[in-house]
Amino acid sequence: MKKVFTRPVSLKNAVFHYCPGCGHSIIHRITCEVIDELGIQDRTIGVPPPGCSVFAYYYFDVDMVESAHGRGAAVATGIKRAYPESIVFTYQGDGDLAAIGTTETLHAANRGENITAIFINNAVYGMTGGQMAPTTMLGMKTTTSPFGRDGKLEGHPIKMSEILAQVEGSCYVERVAVNSPANIRKAKKAIKKAFQNQIDGRGYSLVEILSPCPTNWKMSSVRAWEWVDEVMSREFPLGVIKDTTGKRSAD
C-alpha cells in the first residue's frame, strides 16, 4: 500500500502537550516537514523560548537550546557566528519577540544575521495565563486588560513584521496564519522560503504566524479559527511584507 501521510523524520514521536486547537502543534509539524524537505536535520539548531513552546525540544528532533525570554535572536547570533555551517532558527512568541526581546530582534535583523525567525502571534501571553500581549487587539479582554485593551492606556497592537521589514538587514518578512488548510499550506511555503534564504546566505528572514489560542481567547477551536480571519488578520494583514530575494518561491 502506498503511504500518503506520515510523521516527518525530524518530528519526534511524542504527544503534544498543547491545548486542543492550539496553533503550535501545526507549526511544529510544518516546520519539521520543511527541515526534512531541505535535508538539514543534521545541522539545524533550534532556539525555543520560555512560554508554551518551552518544551519544543520534546518534539523537534534537532539540536535545540532554550533561550532566556526574548533573547532568542542574540542566542541565535552567537551560535551562527560561532558555527556558520549550522542552520539556526528561533521560535518566538509575541511577548518574546515583540515585547521583552524587541531590542535583540530588531538588531539581529538590522545586522542581517543569517538566521530564520518563526514568530508566533496569538495576541496573548499563553503559558502565564492569558495576559495582554504587545499584539493584543484593541478592545480585547485579557487578564491584565480586563476592561478591554485601550490604546490610550495600553498602547496599540504592535506590528513587528512591518517594523522589521524596514531595516536593511532583513531579506524576507511574511505574515501567514494557520487557521485553514489553505493558510497552513501557505505558512509552510513561507517557512520553507525563510529556511532556504538562510541556506543561501541572504540574511534575516522572519515568518509571522497568526496562531489560534482557543484556551486564552475563551473560544471553541472552530470559533478561534474564524476569529483569526474575522479579527486578527484585519489588524495584521496576511501576505509578503518584504522580499528582496526576487519573489522566488522555495518550491
Nearer to another protein, 78 or 148 (CB): 78
When asked if residue 156 is in the footprint of another protein (CB under 8 A), the reply is no
CA–CA gap between residue 180 and residue 28 (Å, rounded): 16
The residue (of 84 and 155) whose beta carbon lies closer to another protein is 84
Question: Whose Cβ is closer to another protein: residue 19's or residue 54's?
Answer: 54
Residues of span 48-67 touching another protein by CB under 8 A: 50, 54, 57, 60-67
Residue 233 touches another protein, criterion: CB under 8 A: no
Query: All 3 cell numbers of residue 65?
Result: 537550546
Residue 169 Cβ vs another protein, minimum distance, rounded to whole Å? 13
CA 46/CA 85 separation, integer angstroms: 14
CB of 96 to another protein, least distance (A): 13
Q: Is 107 in the site for another protein (CB under 8 A)?
A: yes
Nearest distance in Å: CB 226, another protein: 33
Q: Which of residues 69-88 bind another protein (CB under 8 A)?
A: 71, 74-83, 85-87
Q: Helix or strand or coil: residue 108?
A: helix
Judged by phi (left if over 0) then psi (alpha if -120 to 50, else beta), residue 203 lies in: left
Please calculate the CA angle 115-84-48 and round it to the nearest 5 degrees. Answer: 45
Provide the 10 A C-beta neighbour count for residue 39: 9
Shortest spacing between CB 102 and another protein, in angstroms: 10
Q: Which helix (H) or strand (E) holds 92?
A: strand 87-93
CB closer to another protein, 87 vs 178: 87
Q: Note whether 128 binds another protein by CB under 8 A.
A: no
| Contact call for residue 141 and another protein (CB under 8 A) | no
Q: Judged by CB, which is closer to another protein: 32, or 228?
A: 32
Beta bridge partners of 206: 117, 173
Write out the three cell numbers for 154.
Answer: 495600553
Whether residue 135 contacts residue 162, with contact meaning beta carbons closer than 8 Å, is answered with: no
Looking at the Cβ atoms of 54 and 163, the one nearer to another protein is: 54
Least Cβ distance, residue 86 to another protein (angstroms): 6
Instruction: Classify residue 133 as left (phi > 0), alpha (psi -120 to 50) or beta.
Output: beta
Contacts to another protein from residues 16-45, by CB under 8 A = 41-45
Taking CA atoms, 77 is separated from 87, 94, 225, in Å, by 11, 19, 34
Which residues of the chain form contacts with another protein (CB under 8 A)? Answer: 41-45, 47, 50, 54, 57, 60-68, 71, 74-83, 85-87, 103-104, 106-107, 111
